[in-house]
Amino acid sequence: MDTMDFKPTSYPSDLTDGEWEEIAEYFPQGPNSEHHKSSLINAVLYMVDNGCKWRALPHDFPPYSTVHSFYRRARLSGL
């Protein structure tokens, strides 16, 4: 894995390793990526599953502003 800070979470909404492998090709890690894409997806899935506000994401996810930006860009691109 890259040297970026990747802290796995353990929420029921998290992707399994197999699920991540199936979609990883759609979310390539850029050279300047500070957060692993699977942690961003897990944060979005947590928010959708729990219906919480962006600012209410648990602190073991990347910052809410980063997660929101990732979600917005993915949605606008059709992912």
pLDDT value at 1 more than 60:
no
Query: Is there a domain that residue 42 lies in?
Result: yes
Q: Indicate if the alpha-carbon torsion angle 31, 34, 6, 26 is positive or negative.
A: negative
CB 57 within 8 A of CB 46: yes
Q: Are 38 and 20 in contact (CB under 8 A)?
A: yes
- Given a contact cutoff of 8 angstroms between Cβ atoms, the answer to whether 13 and 41 are in contact is no
Above 90 in pLDDT, residue 63?
A: yes
Per-residue pLDDT tens for 67-76? 999 999 999 9
Angle, helices 64-77/37-50, rounded to nearest 10 degrees: 90
Q: Structural domain tally of the chain?
A: 1
Judge contact between 39 and 10, C-beta under 8 A: no
Residue 6 in domain:
no
Residue 45 lies in a domain: yes
Domain holding 47, by residue range, is 38-79
pLDDT in tens, 17-52: 999 999 999 999 888 889 999 999 999 999 999 999
Predicted TM-score (pTM) of this structure: 0.84
Residue 4 included in any domain: no
| 63 within a domain of the structure (yes/no) | yes
